A = this chain, B = another copy of it.
Amino acid sequence: MQDISAYVAQNKERFINELVQLLKIPSVSADPAYSQDVMDASASVKTSLLEAGCDTVEVCETKGYPIVYGEKIIDPTLPTVLVYGHYDVQPPDPVELWDSPPFEPVIKNTELHPEGAIFARGACDDKGQMYMHVKALEYMVKHNQLPCNVKFMIEGEEEVGSENLSEFVANNKEKLANDIILISDTGMIAKDVPSITTGLRGLSYVEVEVTGPNRDLHSGLYGGAVANPINVLTKMISSLHDENNHITIPGFYDKVEELSTAERAEMAKAPFSLEKYQNALQIASVYGEKGYTTNERNSIRPTLDVNGIWGGYIGAGAKTVIASKAFAKISMRLVPNQDWKEITQLFKNHFESIAPAGVTVKVTPHHGGQGYVTPIDHIGYKAASKAYEATFGKTPIPQRSGGSIPIVSLFEKELDSKTILMGFGLDSDAIHSPNEHFGVWNYLKGIETIPHFYKHFTELSK
């Protein structure tokens, strides 16, 4: 399969330009203001899949944004790969921190990306990584190198919890039937240290509202005499961690998988420089649960983070007011075996129980998902490992990710198939942050590596 490298080299400019066009569409699923753009993105994905060689592509309606489904079935007796990705993106704010407009992609060289990186919201998460699969299909079809059947399921609600995906999957088990699911929505350790994500954290995302007096009050006339919802909210949130940064919600850790010393030792082999990590974030020190390393804290341990908080006067100048309400968005990252619905309920019960007299508390579950683990002796993992060896000349390192792709555990449950997470992004790509980018080298390397996976997976399936 030498010619894949040549094909990528010949079509480099076009591959980049096509992705740039897709990145220009501000498909922010969290904000209704962008709804037409999200729809436009789904149409664009359909066109790309047809041009790449899918026999049929449908834009399947859901209660929310549509799911683009495409397939090329060459022989029902051959294995089938289901590619999953998403065309929606995170909100771009804070927009003022972007060096260039989030939806006007630009290519700039950086220290890590001397070949250039594409800067735009969604460049890496997940338009860029999803599009690698489209271009890999184009190559395989054009050169009769597609060794098995392929199906694409590209959704538009991943960044808001894939709320309508589960119903779609449950209702289309036949259509989605596959032998392996392939997803590129994670990262690798470094350009010279390929890795495959074998574990994902689960997620429980909630919004809390604390209500005190029935109206905003003058902080002079009422200050000190009534519960201030913001002060109360800070007390309630801060009480969720103890002095060792353990989470204090009763029962929270009951089902947490405790890794063996051996497993932790294996994980510890992944190259990691605390100094580089801190320098990259410009922090004087890391911070987290006592008794665990940084890599353990963000992969095998559950967490609780406030993702947003607001209340009272946040405009220019000063306002001496006691707000009637205060709010926070809180997410918990979960590890395998923790059930997100159970954790959400534990949070709700606990948070409501610690509300002091004088305020009322409302907890609204937002969305969530289960954690997941891929066994490294699975043929899907082996095929991916061989594919990286072919293009990187190295065996990839299996690694647990702190991120969550809730639908991975859903797929296992509904479609009874494992997922292989072939990510080509880097931690420094700033996904979910201002100046998100994706290295041109990584993008092209992904396109080059994927066909090798199809080849090896088909062979190992025999």
Question: Which residues of chain A have a CB within 8 Å of any CB of chain B?
Answer: 29-32, 90-91, 93-94, 97, 159-161, 187, 201, 203, 205, 212-228, 230-231, 233-235, 237-239, 241, 281-289, 294-295, 297-298, 301-323, 326-329, 331, 333, 356-360, 366-367, 401-404, 427, 430-435
Beyond the given A216-B434, A234-B306, A318-B329, please list 10 additional residue pairs across the A-B interface where CB-CB is below 8 A.
A29-B317, A215-B433, A218-B403, A220-B402, A225-B295, A225-B297, A226-B287, A228-B305, A234-B238, A318-B366
Copies in the complex: 2
Task: Establish whether residues A431 and B218, one from each chain, have CB atoms under 8 Å apart when the complex forms.
Answer: yes
Task: Establish whether residues B283 and A319, one from each chain, have CB atoms under 8 Å apart when the complex forms.
Answer: no
A30-B315, A31-B317, A358-B283 known; A303+B224 contact, CB < 8 A? yes
**Interface pairs (5), CB distance under 8 Å:** A216-B432, A218-B433, A221-B402, A227-B287, A234-B234
A235-B238, A289-B224 known; A284+B216 contact, CB < 8 A? no
Task: Establish whether residues A310 and B309, one from each chain, have CB atoms under 8 Å apart when the complex forms.
Answer: yes
Q: Which residues of B contact A90 (CB under 8 A)?
A: 319, 321
Task: Establish whether residues A220 and B401, one from each chain, have CB atoms under 8 Å apart when the complex forms.
Answer: yes
Bound: A226/B280 CA distance, A:
12
Task: Establish whether residues B223 and A333, one from each chain, have CB atoms under 8 Å apart when the complex forms.
Answer: yes
The chain B residue sitting closest to A227, CB to CB, is B287
Bound: A452/B38 CA distance, A:
70
Task: Establish whether residues B427 and A221, one from each chain, have CB atoms under 8 Å apart when the complex forms.
Answer: yes
Closest approach, in angstroms, between the C-beta of A405 and any C-beta of chain B? 9
User: Within the complex, which residue of B31, B223, B285, B327 is in contact with A305, where a contact is CB–CB below 8 Å?
Assistant: B223
The chain B residue sitting closest to A327, CB to CB, is B314
A306-B312, A317-B31 known; A281+B234 contact, CB < 8 A? no
